[in-house]
Amino acid sequence: MGKFSLQNACGAGKTITAPTQQAHAALPSLPLRVANITVYKRAKTAPRTYKAPRLYMTTWKQNAKKQKTTSKAPPTPPGCEQSSRNKSILTLLLKGTSSRDSIETEGRPPRQPRERIGDATAYIKDVMKERSKHPREHGLWTAPASAPKAAAEINEQRKRNGEQLLDAAELLNLCTRPSIFVWDPMALLPGLNISCPKCGLPASRSNLCSPRHIQRLQGNSVYTTRRYGCYACGKTSGQRKPRTRNRKLFLADAPEVLASLPSGIRSQWQFTNTGRSLCDAPVTDLIRAMATKTSWSAIANAINDMTSAAWAREVQMPYVRLCEAMNVVALHQQSAYPMELRVTDKCVKNMYMKDFALRHEGVATLAIAQVMPLLFYAARCKAELLCLGEFHAVSTLLFLSK
């Protein structure tokens, strides 16, 4: 197509749009006052296609034939409707979501869920991974969501996806999710630097250590702490791997690290750590109060009775009620208080000895701080008395000499 613009023709502009041959044939019929004739052509041209070599053309043709042969679906028997998973996107957009496309109305059983609810170990790993990515967006404690609310949301989503609803094992995993305590001082106070206990240089943050159970009178809780590393001490410790920087790792709850923290941060760590077991302040107070009144085994039995009653009140009974609401048969034997969470008399004794050692150091430091001024005052008084006695003796001798 050619486009011709007439300028200054008869005092007004005119435009003729016609095929190129017809436009050139119409030029003699235009008025003689036409000064300029401008031909406007398309600015952009179609991209030029390059022909591929014959070898690639043959391989493309062979692949296309293979795709055609493999993509052919077997003929569907008459009366069978096409499921919503096999329909094209255009068909689904035009028809919209309707009840006829759902799997339940087609008479098919719901399929297995893509992701099942894992146990407490899987939940702890997910929380630790999230805390490692965003350490400053969370506090010390990470509490799980309410089990009834989470179960209702998951069942609603599975109904929309045509999957099986939550069973008894998954409901038990929801109810037994623990609260997680993560000790990371650098995440609590921005700008805080953790120094290496050996060389005193600033350390860098590392990964989280493996979780441990916290012995509490109420609640199911897990404890984990942050590891820190020092590159200066890592140069001299062990064999150095090629193209790597070694670090000497230490824990954030080490006694030297806790002593170097500010008092406001250090006061938030209120546990008794024996290495194998860990308990909070109320359990330590109970052990200290009963240590001089009964045996270690009696104290352990008392703690186990209190923790098992709390488990039945906070985990087992809510799980049974949730199963009744969901019309699921509860697993009573699996929901009982775990035997591995019980404490022994040896564990109670170790906790008491560790607490006694910490309190003895604190009491000794406090006693020295309070007694030293008294000792200085007593020494001063004694010196004044001695000086006063010598003065009286000298004055008596002078009086007798006269």
Per-residue confidence (pLDDT) for residue 89, from 0 to 100: 58
Range of the domain at 35: 2-40
- Same domain membership, residue 238 and residue 148: yes
Q: Mean pLDDT, to the nearest integer, of 269-274?
A: 90
SS3 of 272, please? strand
Query: What three-state secondary structure class fits 233?
Result: helix
pLDDT in tens, 128-152: 988 888 877 888 999 999 999 999 9
Mean per-residue pLDDT of the chain: 75
Beta bridge partners of 2: 18
Q: Does a structural domain hold residue 102?
A: no
Count of CB atoms situated within 10 Å of the CB of 93: 8
> One-letter amino acid identity for 172?
L
Evaluate whether residue 59 is within a structural domain: no
pTM of the complete model beyond 0.85: no
Find, among 126, 115, 113, the residue nearest to 177 by Cα. 126
**pLDDT band at residue 321, thresholds of 50, 70 and 90?**
very high
SS3 67: helix
**Residue 1 vs residue 87, higher pLDDT:** 87
Checking if the pLDDT of 179 tops 70, the result is: yes
Of these ranges, 188-197, 217-226, 352-361, 386-395, the one predicted with the greatest mean pLDDT is 217-226
Is the pLDDT confidence value at 24 over 50? yes
Q: Is residue 308 part of a domain?
A: yes
pLDDT category at 34 given cuts 50, 70, 90 is: very low
User: Residue 173, SS3?
Assistant: helix
Q: Within this chain, do residues 148 and 294 fall inside the same structural domain, yes or no?
A: yes
- Asked if residue 244 belongs to a domain, the reply is yes
Contact 258, 349 (CB under 8 A): no
Give φ, ψ of 181 to 5 degrees: -105, 120
What is the band of 187 on the pLDDT scale with cuts at 50, 70, 90? confident
Contact 76, 135 (CB under 8 A): no
Number of compact structural domains in the chain: 2
Residues in the chain: 402
Among positive and negative, which fits the CA dihedral 196, 272, 357, 263? Answer: positive
- Residue at 390 is within a domain: no
